[in-house]
Amino acid sequence: MFTLFIDRPFTGRWGLALVLLLVFPLLGNAQHSEQDIPSNDTLRGESKLYDVMRRGEVDGRFRQYNMLTINDGAPTDYHAIAFGGTLGFTSQRWHGTRFKLSGGYTFDLETSDLTVPDPVTGLPNRYEIGLYDVNDPRHTNDLAYLHEFQLDWLATNGRTNIVFGKQELNTPFLNPQDGRMHPSLFEGLWGKHRTAHGTRLEGGWIYRVAPRGASEWYTVAESMDIYPSGKNVYGEASMHGEYLRSAGIFALSAKQPLGRKVGMTLWDVYTENIFNTALLQLDAGEKEDRWSLSGLAIKQDPTATGEHALDSLAYMPEGQGSWAFSGRLRNVLGKFRWQLNYTRITAHGRYLMPREWGRDPFFTFLPRERNEGVGDLQAATLNLIWKDVRTGWRIELDGGVYRMPALTDTRLNKYAMPSYAQVVINAQYQFRGEWQGLAIQLLTLGKVPTASASLTEKQSFNKVDMLHADLIINYVF
């Protein structure tokens, strides 16, 4: 039903116009006194619906994103400074139901020319374009999009919550990956339920996606071809985006405590006519305990039939499913903690999950790189984290080594990513007092190849032999 009201043409500047038209009258009403309401207004009496809308809340965010990428050698370096934010309205609940609407905007303050491929390698920009519209490098200014548009129902006992419409999700495979100007968003029916015995159930049906770095809403099948899609198992350019057809994503999870500090989480994400992904995770200990241990296993299988199952056109060819395992050991020492992580993706096939839908669920994930599209991977990382809640500081130092399959092995290396080592420094500060809501983050990282064979500039461009830095200023109200 929501799709009939808000379709693609409204997700640009018309979507923002709709937000402004609905939100600002509500803002004005919220400031009116009782004497401002006309005496003959039929909503003046017992109408609770009017009250919950009139007394709703407005929230928003301003963000300035400064990004810099330096490539070693002759290839192009890039920079971008973008400013934008979101503005939203949430009503109070009426018989357990509330309405939420928000829109976003982005402006280019100073950015490299993203329309011109690098003259040395002939490749396009990789990181900075994600602040704007990956589908149109010329469209870097005056971007507007519809963010959320939903009905949210909460049961009287507070144990059941159902959301219908455009929304944010935060799951192992569908998540905001909020590392650009706006997060990845999802449209559909999503529910959560907590049983009287402590089991937590979650899941639903997703039929549209608004990927991070894009300014439109797409069907699930269309959303799988917004970012570069690499090569198929035969070494040819992937063409699956033109042929994919799907009724959407059907997901279900259960989180069950097995003891006082032991828990099990199960996920199954079925993308109709394309592939299925199942996850099992076990956690021993809580995040703030002195010691804790977590491990997960992921099994993927193709589900396409007919022409969608053809090896050269399928997103996941028949017989090319994958197994992945990841683990974490954590030690908390007051304000300081360290985490040792390991991931293994077997050589049965590539681990595949559209990058448009979220970041990797592996414990070895580090910012600005993915291990999606890879098989026969071994990765190890160490996180050193210092956090002081009282002062608002959080400083993290990460290091990782990733052994990848050969660049020429397209069956297991979809994006021709070389083996590499990565170091990340991530410093965040949240202001207090009269500056509450303001936060600053400085993210800097470097990636270098670890294989003995030398790489061409085309093989390393925007992948290794590079430095990357982000300065992000957020103000949330």
Alpha carbon 237 to its chain centroid, in Å, reads 25
Among the listed residues 476, 395, 385, the one whose alpha carbon sits nearest the alpha carbon of residue 431:
476
Domain that residue 75 falls in: 2-476
CATH code of the domain in which 270 resides: 2.40.160.10
Amino acid at 105: Y
CB 351 within 8 A of CB 324: yes
Rounded CA-CA distance 256/233 in Å is: 38
The first and second tokens of residue 176, run together, are: 């905001």
Reported pTM: 0.88
SS3 at position 126: coil
Total domains present in the chain: 1
CB 447 within 8 A of CB 459: no
Rounded CA-CA distance 355/368 in Å is: 12
CB 125 within 8 A of CB 78: yes
CB 367 within 8 A of CB 401: no
| Cβ atoms < 10 Å from Cβ of 308 | 19
Tens digit of pLDDT for each residue in 348-366? 999 999 999 999 999 999 9
pLDDT at 50: 80
Partner residues linked to 338 by β-bridges: 331, 384
User: For the chain (length 477 residues), average pLDDT per consecutive 10?
Assistant: 39 44 42 35 51 90 98 96 96 93 96 96 96 91 92 96 98 94 96 95 98 94 94 88 90 94 97 97 95 98 79 84 97 97 97 96 97 97 96 97 96 96 98 96 98 91 97 97
CB 184 within 8 A of CB 357: yes
SS3 at position 281: strand
pLDDT at 307: 66
CB 385 within 8 A of CB 415: no
Among the listed residues 107, 111, 108, 109, the one whose alpha carbon sits nearest the alpha carbon of residue 79:
111
